[in-house]
Amino acid sequence: MCGIIGATGTAAAPSFLIEGLHRLEYRGYDSAGLALVEAQGIWRARAAEGTHSVEDLEVLARTAPQGARCGIGHTRWATHGRPSVENAHPHLDCTGRLALVHNGIIENHAELAIGLLDRGHVLASETDTECLAHLVEEAVAEGTRLSRAVVRALSMVRGSFAIAVVHADQPGTIVAARRATPLVVGLTDDVSMLASDIPALLGTTRRLVALEDDQVAVLTPGSLEVATFDGDEIDPTALTVEWDLEAAQKGGYDDFMSKEMHEQPHAVAETLLDRRSPDGTLRLDDLRIDDDQLRSIDRVCIVACGSSYHAAMVAKYAIEHWARLPTEVDIASEFRYRDPVLDQRTLTVGVSQSGETLDTLQALREARRWGSRVLAVSNVVDSSMAREADGVLYTRAGPEIGVASTKCHLAQIVVLELLALTLAQLRGTRTPAQIDAVVRGLHELPDHVAEALAREKEVRDVADTLVGARDFFFLGRGVGFPVALEGALKLKELSYLRAEGYPAGELKHGPIALIEPGTVVVGVATRSPLYEKMLANVAEVASRGATVVLVADDGDDQAAGVADHVLWVPATEAILSPVVGVVPLQILAYQLARRLGNDVDRPRNLAKTVTVE
């Protein structure tokens, strides 16, 4: 997730762009840049130093040409290409007279780049975005006006985009377009502006319009023209915004956690994008471990902490089920000290949203000392783990601000299941048709997650009945067990209530002694090969007076018959079900924490990234 901004008609263009980028930093800050249109051409500045790229850009902008009244800017959350000045937006075309910024993912960028290189273009970055600048360049060179040149370039693109383009031959004009990625336009009498998100414009105007998918906008000072990609003029829909700045950065949600829960469908969809070659085989970005090395793997060890550990547990089931590879999952802080037995045929996978958790980082270093190949699964491009690993698999959830992990957890499960399928593809333990069927199921998950989120009120009603409860068990079997653990962790870290995640089949070996009237047992009872056994375990706790809350598939009357409350979810294939089943548990924990007056974005005693052992 990146932030783009643009403005035309203001003598304060540089400062407006910088201020807007500061307000968009929560969308990413790996690098920042701006381009201004002036008489001589395009003036560009870019910075990519750690988390203060926008501040560094602000210093560079002091040397911007005075009087520049039109420009675009970008703050980056890297997905393709490491954070660097070369990869920072805006990107230029070969003439240096066109500049472009982009938020989204160009799925077919590799094919487009090959064609551009064949036609003599010089690509100066590793990004998917730069291809767009050169495609627009080609159309402009044929005499097409800028707005139609942008549409022609985008017609060759698969993926998601929100872009803004300027050209030195059309000073004062910005062309913008979007698909599946947000873009807002603002107006005053003299200035036209655009941004990825409302916060960047709120300080200047509340005259806002939201572009729709496959619409192109032409901004000139104080005026706006919008058309469909087919050229039909559109009267854009005005946005009424009552938010203040902070509310706007939360997208109108009460807090970042709520916003990020609702970003989960998009996070899963983005993480699934661009994972297949034209021939349909799975292709994982930055893996940098070649197929023969992967085929030589005879064991997988996964190390992680917290929610990432729970995602790793789901991966164990997936890798063993599909790829038939023995897979161990370790708490990272334990792994290092258990004298693990690893060798060069072991693949050690570190799962970490931040890519900086020291327990996991040290575990990976230990694995490398044993000669194991190391793969990092991270949400932060070029994080410490990503840099040190032999290969990297990125989730594309965008910045996760809330301390309690939600969208990254779902994205981790999805990308780890893609890894499991890739291993199965390489080892031939699943046919292409079988793999394709599962991939189709993965691509249905964003809609299922959105449907689970749409039932927020039903979950809120259940939370209302549980206010006052002080003793929670979360039970699950098979892939439902990591879901139970994640539900318990969410409740603990947000509401500070005691909650224990436990394998449902194990409860009778002691902990069932704790069950009494008033104990709340949350069971993950979505359909799976262990469904009947799960319901039997539920009956054991219900008969001892527990209040039973079940996560169950839509229409499952059998589950409803043994529960006091049901958190309904759309049915999915068992091994994909954690991605959907965990959603009502996130909402339940969030709602109980809100009722207790807790700060859900910054729970007590916690930090978003734990860089101590």
- Residue of minimal Cβ distance to ligand AGP: 306
Packing angle between helix 13-24 and helix 53-60, nearest 10 degrees? 180
Packing angle between helix 432-453 and helix 407-427, nearest 10 degrees? 170
Task: Based on the shown chain and the rule CB under 6 A, indicate whether residue 352 belongs to the binding site for ligand AGP.
Answer: yes
Tell me the closest approach of the beta carbon of residue 308 to ligand AGP, in angstroms: 4
Catalytic site residue from 2, 70, 131, 408: 2
What are the respective helix, strand and coil percentages of the chain, to the nearest 5? 40, 25, 35
- Could you say which of 170, 308, 372, 384 contacts ligand AGP (CB under 6 A)? 308
Which residues 460-499 are close enough to bind ligand AGP by CB under 6 A? Answer: 493
Task: Based on the shown chain and the rule CB under 6 A, indicate whether residue 609 belongs to the binding site for ligand AGP.
Answer: yes
Per-residue x/- track, 146-185, ligand AGP (CB under 6 A): ----------------------------------------
Strands (E), 525-592: 547-553, 565-569
Strands (E), 127-222: 159-167, 174-179, 184-187, 192-195, 208-210, 215-220
Question: Do 213 and 138 touch, CB atoms closer than 8 A?
Answer: no
Binding window for ligand AGP (CB under 6 A); candidates: 27-35, 94-102, 169-177, 305-313: 305-313
Question: Do 466 and 455 touch, CB atoms closer than 8 A?
Answer: no
Q: How far is residue 120 from each of residues 94, 117, 211, 215, 288, measured CA to CA in Å?
A: 10, 5, 34, 30, 28
Q: Reduced to 3 states, what is the DSSP secondary structure of residue 559?
A: helix
Binding window for ligand AGP (CB under 6 A); candidates: 196-204, 242-250, 315-323, 351-359: 351-359
Which residues 402-461 are close enough to bind ligand AGP by CB under 6 A? Answer: 403-405
DSSP 8-class letter at 171: T
Binding window for ligand AGP (CB under 6 A); candidates: 123-131, 222-230, 302-310, 363-371: 302-310
Tell me the closest approach of the beta carbon of residue 446 to ligand AGP, in angstroms: 21
Nearer to ligand AGP, 507 or 593 (CB): 593
Tell me the closest approach of the beta carbon of residue 357 to ligand AGP, in angstroms: 3
The yes-or-no answer on residue 533 being catalytic is: no
The yes-or-no answer on residue 608 being catalytic is: yes
Question: Do 68 and 14 touch, CB atoms closer than 8 A?
Answer: yes
Task: Based on the shown chain and the rule CB under 6 A, indicate whether residue 306 belongs to the binding site for ligand AGP.
Answer: yes
Token pair for 601: 């974005």
Strands (E), 221-281: 223-228, 233-234, 238-239
- Could you say which of 75, 87, 307, 495 contacts ligand AGP (CB under 6 A)? 307
Tell me the closest approach of the beta carbon of residue 395 to ligand AGP, in angstroms: 10
- Could you say which of 163, 176, 305, 530 contacts ligand AGP (CB under 6 A)? 305
527: CB partners within 8 A, 6+ apart? 553, 556, 571, 574, 577
- How many residues lie near ligand AGP (CB under 6 A)? 15
Footprint of ligand AGP (CB under 6 A)? 305-308, 352-354, 357, 360, 403-405, 493, 609-610
So which residues are the catalytic ones? 2, 608
